[in-house]
């Protein structure tokens, strides 16, 4: 059962990373392909929210199974993401330098670099996404790690989790106007727009839905869901994601709508025990998804440079770039997972066991 659950979660991560790569490849061709396709590829952004939801579901299950040792928990979380994230930070600083960029109009400052290595970049307009491409999601993840033990002290059942979700939804709605008001004098308005979208509170509902999802799955026997509920929910969610992804209606494409559609996918897939989300390909991608997330930015640029001169239709170029990016980034990610991520996890496990043994003998 634990193995099946792990396969399912890896499958969801694989599905998420396919969406994330899709948006960044699609952005290169958005003006050259039909608007419906451009809208759909851009909707791949919601893969990040699926990552958040799966992370919250996984960690909630883990912390509920055993007593929370905060030092052990912090150590495991740090060594899970820090080695690969720090490598990416050094790599992208060497590759791109510290000059002006989209997310740092005045250049990357020593403060931006310091905050990034301290993993506090989620609190700064100019550091949240400037040092490491896509680093904003890691910033939100780290903030969630810090808040989760306290959150679970309150979210001890489904009703309490739903109450927190309501608070999170209200916070997500209020966050953008508050940020725009607080930073109304900042000359680079795009930085404020990005922070309002990338900041932790804008994405809090995705994390909280992961916690709610844990309690829904724990309570499903008492909820007495009919057999068709799982497949129906999953199918409706997939249809909804595709339909919304093809549209260009702002409120439909909002974070909150995507959060609840993704929640339906996560719960529906778990309840129906479908093999659709546990294919070998999705599980393989999901296993190395963190490395793949960090590598795919540079791979997209490399593939783009090699294919942009090909005299083939833009839609075919998009498909070629997408497939090549996935393949190359997967190979790089397999190596970095094996030699960077996995050793970090093994060190964390070893130190945790040593601390547990010392505590037991004390």
Concatenate the DSSP letters of all residues of 302-347 into one string: HHHHHHTT--S-HHHHHHHHHHHHHHHHHHHHHHHIIIIIHHHHHH
38-42, 82-86, 272-276, 326-330: range with lowest mean pLDDT = 272-276
The reported pLDDT for the residue numbered 59 is: 96
Global pTM value? 0.95
d(CA 129, CA 92): 12
User: Average pLDDT for residues 61-89, to the nearest whole number?
Assistant: 92
What does the alpha-carbon distance between residue 128 and residue 283 come to, in Å, rounded to a whole number?
29
Q: Which residues contact 168 (CB under 8 A, 6 or more apart)?
A: 204, 205, 207, 208
pLDDT number for residue 310: 86
Rounded mean pLDDT, 170-181: 97
Burial class (CB in 10 A: 0-12, 13-18, 19+), 227: exposed
Q: Taking 60 as the threshold, does the pLDDT of residue 281 lie above it?
A: yes
Selected residue with higher pLDDT from 39 and 274: 39
Q: Do residues 55 and 144 touch, judged by C-beta distance below 8 A? A: yes
Residue 156 in this model has a pLDDT that exceeds 50: yes
Q: Measured between alpha carbons, how far is residue 202 from residues 122, 208, 226, 313 in Å?
A: 12, 12, 34, 37
pLDDT band at 1 (very low <50, low <70, confident <90, very high): very low
What's the mean pLDDT when you consider all of the chain? 93
Given its phi and psi angles, is residue 133 left (phi above 0), alpha (psi -120 to 50 degrees) or beta? beta
Instruction: Tell me the per-residue pLDDT of 24-39, one tens digit each, with 9 for 90 and over.
Output: 999 999 999 999 999 9
Rounded Cα gap, residues 322 and 87, in angstroms: 24
Strand partners, 101: 104
Find the mean pLDDT for residues 76-103.
96
pLDDT at residue 181 in the model? 97
Provide the 10 A C-beta neighbour count for residue 162. 15
Q: Is 56 a residue whose pLDDT tops 80?
A: yes
Q: How many residues does the chain have?
A: 362
Residue 348: is its pLDDT beyond 50? yes
106/101 Cα distance (integer angstroms) = 8
The pLDDT tens digits for 201-211 are 999 999 999 99
Q: Assign 155 to helix, strand or coil.
A: coil
Residue 45 makes CB contacts below 8 A (sequence gap 6+) with: 19, 20, 23
DSSP 8-state secondary structure symbol assigned to residue 133:
T
Residues of the chain above pLDDT 90, percent: 82
Give me the mean pLDDT over the 72-86 stretch: 95
60 has a pLDDT exceeding 70: yes
DSSP 127: T
121 pLDDT exceeds 50? yes
Task: Tokens 């958040």: give the residue.
Answer: 52
Residues whose CB is less than 8 angstroms from the CB of residue 327 and which lie 6 or more positions away in sequence, other chains included: none
pLDDT higher than threshold 60 for residue 360: no
Query: What secondary structure, in 3-state letters, does 73-95 show?
Result: HHHHHHHHHHHHHHHHHHHHHHH
Quote the radius of gyration of the chain (alpha carbons, Å). 20
Encode pLDDT of 200-256 as tens digits: 999 999 999 999 999 999 987 677 777 778 888 999 999 999 999 999 998 899 999
**Arithmetic mean of pLDDT, 70-85:** 94
Sequence-distant (≥ 6) Cβ neighbours of residue 100 within 8 angstroms: 106, 107
Spatial contact of 39 and 245, defined as CB atoms under 8 Å apart: yes
Q: Which pair of tokens denotes residue 185?
A: 């004098």
Query: What distance lies between CA 4 and its chain's CA centroid?
Result: 22
């Amino acid at each position: 059962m634990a193995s099946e659950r792990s396969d399912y979660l890896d499958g969801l991560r694989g599905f998420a990373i396919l969406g994330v790569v899709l948006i960044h490849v699609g952005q290169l061709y958005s003006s050259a392909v039909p608007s419906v396709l451009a809208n759909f590829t851009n909707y791949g952004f919601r893969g990040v929210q699926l990552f958040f939801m799966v992370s919250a579901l996984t960690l909630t299950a883990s912390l509920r199974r055993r007593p929370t040792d905060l030092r052990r928990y912090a150590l495991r979380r740090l060594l899970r993401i820090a080695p690969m994230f720090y490598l990416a930070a050094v790599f992208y600083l060497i590759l791109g330098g510290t000059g002006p960029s989209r997310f740092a109009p005045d250049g990357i400052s020593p403060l931006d670099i310091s905050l990034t290595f301290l993993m506090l970049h989620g609190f700064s307009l100019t550091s949240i996404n400037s040092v490491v491409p896509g680093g904003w999601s890691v910033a939100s993840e780290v903030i969630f790690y810090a808040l989760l033990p306290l959150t679970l002290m309150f979210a001890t059942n489904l009703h309490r989790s739903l109450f927190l979700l309501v608070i999170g939804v209200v916070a997500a709605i209020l966050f953008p106007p508050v940020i725009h008001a607080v930073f109304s004098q900042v000359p680079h308005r795009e930085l404020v727009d990005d922070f309002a979208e990338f900041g932790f509170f804008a994405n809090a509902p995705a994390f909280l839905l992961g916690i709610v999802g844990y309690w829904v799955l724990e309570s499903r026997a008492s909820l007495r869901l009919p057999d068709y509920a799982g497949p129906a929910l999953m199918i409706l969610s997939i249809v909804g994601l595709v339909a919304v992804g093809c549209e260009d209606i702002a409120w439909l494409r909002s974070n909150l709508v995507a959060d609840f559609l993704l929640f339906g996918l996560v719960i529906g897939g778990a309840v129906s025990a479908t093999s659709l989300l546990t294919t070998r390909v999705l599980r393989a991608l999901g296993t190395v998804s963190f490395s793949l997330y960090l590598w795919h930015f540079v791979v997209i640029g490399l593939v783009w440079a090699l294919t942009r001169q090909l005299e083939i239709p833009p839609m075919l170029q998009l498909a070629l770039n997408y497939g090549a990016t996935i393949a190359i980034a997967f190979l790089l990610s397999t190596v970095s997972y094996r030699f960077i991520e996995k050793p970090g996890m093994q060190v964390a496990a070893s130190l945790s066991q040593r601390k547990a043994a010392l505590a037991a003998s004390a």
